[in-house]
Structure 1
Amino acid sequence: MLNFKVFTILALFFSGLFQFSFFAKPYSNIKPPDWSHNKTIYEVNLRQFSPGGSIKEFREHLPRLKEMGVGILWFMPIHPVGAENRKGTLGSYYSVQDYKGVDPAYGTKEEFRELVKEIHSMGMYIILDWVANHTAWDNPWSKSNPEFYVKDKEGKFTPPRGTDWSDVIQLDYSNKEMRLAMTDALEYWVREFDVDGYRCDVAAMVPTDFWESVYKKLSAIKPVFMLAEAHEVALHKNAFHMSYAWDTFNLMKDMAKGKEKPEDFLKKVKKQDSPYPPQGIRMRFTSNHDENSWNGTEFELFGDAALAYSVLAATLPGMHLIYTGQEAGNKKRLAFFEKDPVDWSDLSRTDFFKKLNMLKRDNSALHHSVKSGSMEPIKHSNGKLITYLRRNGSDAVLVVVNVTSSPQTTVIKSVKGLPEMTDIFSGAKIALAKEASVTLQPGEHRVYAFSKADKK
């Protein structure tokens, strides 16, 4: 009888573990730095940012980026680009010749050091793009340490399997010495230049345990922010704070093409987000360097509703990414392997992004990670208008967006305890102590906000 009782207790115990492991909310053992909870991230394509593509020229833009409310500057790779098997005239940013070098076309290490200091002095943060999966063919490691690389059947270097990346060669993560060398290079920029973290290229192609060990090493130096170019939930557990919300981006693209209905949007976003831990951040965007160069500008993808989709990206739970030139209404696909600078002559969209960025910074309803505000469904009469409420304590943001091709009117039901709110763009008021009607033209958007801090 005793053995039977012991067996029963053990069976219930392990059954409980099984249920917990399969049905518990996903979790993460790490949380983002305290400074990151209300930030917007801006991707810097240094090569195309100015006619010369230099650090010196870029620094002239820092005051306006600060004024626009940018919190984190993500720099695409700053390293020298490989010459062997180079694509195009200038090559791919992601063909790294020297992990501890600065491309002379951009400037010197000392100029980069001064750039980091200036960014920090302005209250902003900087993360570097890091390519850990592969190197340029003429990276010095290919000569000094050929054992660092994967070889084909003939013992030759090989590009990453399943890609057309003929300008780079695959690193071998079964080699412990290579891992140490890569970790050393990652530590170098944090320790010697005080960068605040990394955006890690094709992060899921690199073993997760490597990233977990790197995170521990970097965090011993300073609190760092880690962004994975990936969507895998497991990367959030011990290595990365933020990952790409490609699923939401693709959903928005399909909605713009008429393949998805606005009525289903919020339900599908909620389902997309459900596997991720509460402190995990999803990066929302309407453009980035890959999408712009290879798949189309935001205007090609979203047409006249481009700004409306940016409102969704900026106000859904997560962190909003702005890519180089979006504030200038850039309508060209920036060349990936050639010089193709952005035209900054029209900065009329700056105020649009500034309003969204400042709202993210100051209104806790839009904060992310463990400090995230809720996203609540709100009763209204027209599902073709994407309508939702973000709340955190007394702070609230009501979003109404029309991504259809025709005018839409909705009647929003009253919400108990919600104060009068003001649209950050038009100044229009809405009071939901009783039901209210809202009419939007195609591509129009309203972002009504209330913050207790504004009333002090």
Structure 2
Amino acid sequence: MKKKLILVSALALFISCKDNKQAISTDEASVATEEVKESIVPFQDEMMENAVIYEANIRQYSPEGSFEAFTKDIPKLKEMGVKILWVMPIYPISQVKKKSANGKFAEDIEDPNEREKILGSYYAISDYTAVNPEFGTKEDFRKLVKTAHENDIYVILDWVPNHTGWDHVWIEQHPDYYTQNENGEIIDPINPETGESWGWDDVADLNYDNPEMRKEMIADMIYWIKEENIDGFRCDVANNVPTNFWEQAIPQLRAEKNVFMLAEAWQPELMENNLFNMVYGWDLHHEMNKIAQGKLTAEAWEEKMKEVQEKYKKEHLLMNFTSNHDENSWNGTVSERLKGGVETFAALSFMAPGMPLIYSGQEYDMDKRLRFFEKDTIYKETNKMFSVYKKLGQLKNNSKALSTGEQPASYEVVENSSPKKVISFKRTKGKETIIYIANVTENEVEVELNLEGDFKDYMENNKTLTIKNNKKIKMLPWEYHILK
């Protein structure tokens, strides 16, 4: 719903003044005639129940690596059922200690041609309220947000609260904003469990004992909400930041706007007391990888689901994913990790309780590890998975049986005769039920299911599949069914 709030306000002002024949001031007239900002319906928690989230890697999405190039494809995201767009960090990158893939800093590379290729990590930020000129201008970013909103998609920014780059203005002006060693030297982030460096030596660790730093951090976050109309944040290593900071910050953010908050973390307590809306489903992600690689059997899925259901409350929301920027660059492509089950586990991420994530390039069958510190490109030569994600997204958006949130759909195991090879469960809400059955091995299997009846196979154009008790069905390697 688009609201022309400014124009209506100006008209109301004119009517209220007409009795005393006061003229509208020049400033008021300019407000009435300026271009009206397009708006999206304010975000509400129930909108998460059937949403899909997309992670945008602006640098690698296109040969141009620009906001403008990405913005052109936003309507395609809507086709895949995307409701939330997570944009990887868009801020200027520190030029000091700019890291390369081999761990060297750019300034230590002698060859000027090789040094020029090093763009650095998105997560080494030199200014929280500016945009990286590599991607375009702030006006280009505004067009991206406006286009997303016109397509009923909310935009959340990747926020990096744990550390900054080494040439952030705070380094010189406020060294007390940073963690320092016994010699008064600013240090890179430390693993609290070991007391050793994480190895993130291209960034400087922020000191959350400093209340002034906290105030400035919150002010910078509010800037993007008030001035740039974004709808929330994905917070990098959120569990490395004190929870009491989030208890301080998030209410202030929501006083401006009801924002969506995603934590790169897994702790249930981060979703308590109206803090984060969603955390990472790391447990289920790792289980999918291990099952696909034959390190675990299909039984491990249900065992992990029981653990997850005990660990989190029914209203807690987990992000389900088969890839993201870290997994792709450091742990392997989906085909490396999931073997022949790329589509099978993509479907599982949509059918399981939670919100499914699509990472840039997955819709174009991307089968390479994107370079992290240099320019790379996602090629769009094939797009088999686009049609898969489109069908899955439409089902997720429109099926009560796949709902999450305060009143989630139920999750129930469907017993089968090959529990080490086949995952089978059903989701139900009201009168609607959806069943997922998958052979998660590279071998053909015959399986008997505790089901009876004629079902519509959603991914096969609603072709009828008849299942009878005491009668096995044959499933090819990695074959799956979504039955309605």
Quote the residue 2:355 is aligned against. Answer: 319
1:98 aligns with 2:134: no
Q: What is the CA distance between 1:270 and its match in structure 2?
A: 2.1
Quote the residue 2:439 is aligned against. Answer: 402
What one-letter code is carried by the residue in structure 2 that aligns with 1:337?
A: F
Q: What is the CA distance between 1:379 and its match in structure 2?
A: 2.9
- 1:75-154 matched pairs, under 5 angstroms: 75-88=87-100, 89-154=118-183
CA contact (8 A) 1:33 1:224 kept: no
Distance across 1 between alignment mates of 2:268 and 2:79: 34
Q: What is the CA distance between 1:439 and its match in structure 2?
A: 2.2
Quote the residue 1:172 is aligned against. Answer: 207
What is the CA RMSD across the aligned residues, in angstroms? 1.7
Compared CA separation, residues 32 and 226, structure 1 to 2 (3 A): farther
TM-score (norm 1): 0.88
Distance across 1 between alignment mates of 2:309 and 2:481: 24
CA contact (8 A) 1:95 1:136 kept: yes
Distance across 2 between alignment mates of 1:426 and 1:380: 25
Aligned residues: 417
CA contact (8 A) 2:287 2:300 kept: no
CA contact (8 A) 2:67 2:141 kept: yes
Q: What is the CA distance between 1:55 and its match in structure 2?
A: 0.7
TM-score (norm 2): 0.83
**Greater mean deviation of Cα atoms: 406-415 or 248-257:** 406-415
**Greater mean deviation of Cα atoms: 78-87 or 342-351:** 342-351
Distance across 2 between alignment mates of 1:311 and 1:360: 10
Distance across 2 between alignment mates of 1:84 and 1:399: 50
List gaps (5 residues or longer) in structure 1: 1-30, 450-456
- 1:150-229 matched pairs, under 5 angstroms: 150-161=179-190, 162-229=197-264
CA contact (8 A) 2:448 2:469 kept: no
CA contact (8 A) 1:287 1:298 kept: yes
Q: What is the CA distance between 1:426 and its match in structure 2?
A: 4.5
Distance across 2 between alignment mates of 1:382 and 1:257: 18
CA contact (8 A) 1:32 1:369 kept: no
Q: What is the CA distance between 1:396 and its match in structure 2?
A: 1.2
Quote the residue 1:10 is aligned against. Answer: none
CA contact (8 A) 1:423 1:429 kept: no
CA contact (8 A) 1:191 1:221 kept: yes
Quote the residue 2:333 is aligned against. Answer: 297
Secondary structure of 1:41's partner? strand
CA contact (8 A) 1:135 1:170 kept: yes
Distance across 1 between alignment mates of 2:391 and 2:257: 31
Distance across 2 between alignment mates of 1:122 and 1:55: 16
1:232 to 267, 272, 277: 267
Compared CA separation, residues 187 and 155, structure 1 to 2 (3 A): same
Quote the residue 1:45 is aligned against. Answer: 57
List gaps (5 residues or longer) in structure 2: 1-42, 101-117, 191-196
What one-letter code is carried by the residue in structure 1 that aligns with 2:46?
A: D
CA contact (8 A) 1:73 1:126 kept: yes
1:364 aligns with 2:400: yes
Q: What is the CA distance between 1:420 and its match in structure 2?
A: 4.0
Q: What is the CA distance between 1:432 and its match in structure 2?
A: 6.2
Distance across 1 between alignment mates of 2:471 and 2:263: 42
Q: What is the CA distance between 1:127 and its match in structure 2?
A: 0.6
Compared CA separation, residues 174 and 320, structure 1 to 2 (3 A): same
1:269 aligns with 2:269: no
Q: What is the CA distance between 1:125 and its match in structure 2?
A: 1.1
